[in-house]
Structure 1
Amino acid sequence: MPYPKLVRDRIPAIIAASGRRCRTTVLAKPAFRAALLAKLVEEA
């Protein structure tokens, strides 16, 4: 199931510890800024 959002540092480790798999991507600076802004709007 795709989840194209920013997640906190330990979320992938928590998912792996529960026996599930996840794939993460490190974003380049412009993409990170856009994702961070989207997360800010979502949380507000």
Structure 2
Amino acid sequence: MKRLMLLLGALVATVFLTACNTMQGVGKDISKGGQAIEKAAK
């Protein structure tokens, strides 16, 4: 669980550091990141 939280924190930081120009872009990035986390968790 600790590893998952670390991965999630890194993902959030990456999303914000990539400087998405629109909220729609941020939403897509977060969605893709969530899917990657779910896949890694399985």
TM-score by length of 2: 0.45
Rg larger for? 1
Higher helix share: 2
Which one has more relative contact order, counting CA pairs under 8 Å at least 6 apart? Answer: 2
